Amino acid sequence: MFGIPRTLLLSAIVGGLFAADLHAAVEWNVSLWGKRRAFTENVEKLAELVERKTGGEFKLNISYGGLSKSRENLDGISIGAFEMAQFCSFYHTEKNPTITVTELPFSKNVSLARIADIYSEVYKHPIVVKDLARWNATLLMPTPLPQYNIVSKTEPLTGLADFKGLRVRGPGGIMGVLGKLGAVKTSVPFSEVRQAMNSGVIDAASFAPHAHLATKSYKVGKWATTNLNLGTANCPVVVNSDALKALKPAYREALLGSVNEAIAYYVDNYNDNTTGKYDEELKESGLSLITFTSQQTAELNNLAESVRADWVNKYGEDFDAGALFDFTVRLFDQ
């Protein structure tokens, strides 16, 4: 009987399977939380760009809460449970102490684009790289956020002394300052903020505009600050370092080469569609708007200076906190 020799047939089959494997799409799982919103548009845009640049051969499969809890995303990255994730450094400061330097109250109202640049530079600092390497994580890109402001359901503030006893959900830098005024840092999951305000578990939430919009905190609030200017949160996007190294060069280039475009899109989208909408919602909801006087701002800034010094002292024995702090200050001052 004539035909293809068995050895050649087997070689062809194996070769065909190998070739098919070479051309199989690479898919990364991405762990986010909540739902798609302004806060996640950098990741959504990155996924779009990567898929387009690779002709669909490299895809980022984005999951909103299906892969991990938000406060466990860094842990998931460390064990390779998924390849990419977003997290906020104040969720677990002990896991990522170095990047909390960017959450300190620098009392600077800088643009979103500039915040993105500052964070990106901090991510490259050797001290920070070493810190995240403990989790087999590489910082990929920032999620720049504007200055946080407070929405509260209590009676409107009449002075800074009214912060005493106020139970606030917010990041470390801001709460460091407000804590010195007697405010109480109270942790609740992001998805439960409005319910927690309704039930009295917390009195106030400190957020960027997109998060106030997402939680609709203003629907139960009575007042909101307009110029707190005590900092914001650092919520980076990270990738599993081994997964990044394993990507073939073309895919790695598509991923890394799309970061700047994804951030630029995010910044434009946030500025155009989020900040203004939040201001409109505050007006329509009839909240009292609290604008701090220059004297009150000066007092807040004095407290902020002590919070920054506290941070350097706290971490001085763990890493060169002074050097990292000075590096970050120079970026904010440029």
Pairing mode of beta strands 204-207, 149-152:
antiparallel
pLDDT of residue 15: 45
Distance CA 268, CA 38 (A): 10
Distance CA 243, CA 246 (A): 5
Distance CA 182, CA 154 (A): 15
pLDDT of residue 23: 56
Q: Which of 189, 236, 232, 212 is nearest to 43 (CA)?
A: 236
**CA 172 → CA 92, 112, 211, distances in Å?**
10, 20, 17
Q: Which of 304, 321, 314 is nearest to 179 (CA)?
A: 304
Q: What is the pTM of this model?
A: 0.86
Distance CA 201, CA 157 (A): 19
* Domain(s) of CATH 3.40.190.170: residues in the chain: 25-143+234-273, 149-232+275-333
CATH for 149-232+275-333 is 3.40.190.170
Class of domain 25-143+234-273: alpha beta
Give the pLDDT means over successive 10-residue stretches in the chain (334 positions).
40 42 80 94 98 98 97 98 96 96 88 96 98 98 95 95 96 91 93 92 95 94 94 95 98 98 97 93 95 95 94 97 98 92
Task: List all residues 6 or more positions away from 271 whose beta carbon is below 8 Å from its beta carbon.
Answer: 112
How many Cα atoms occupy the beta-carbon half-sphere of 2 within 13 Å? 0
Region of residue 55 (left: phi > 0; alpha: psi -120 to 50; beta: else):
left
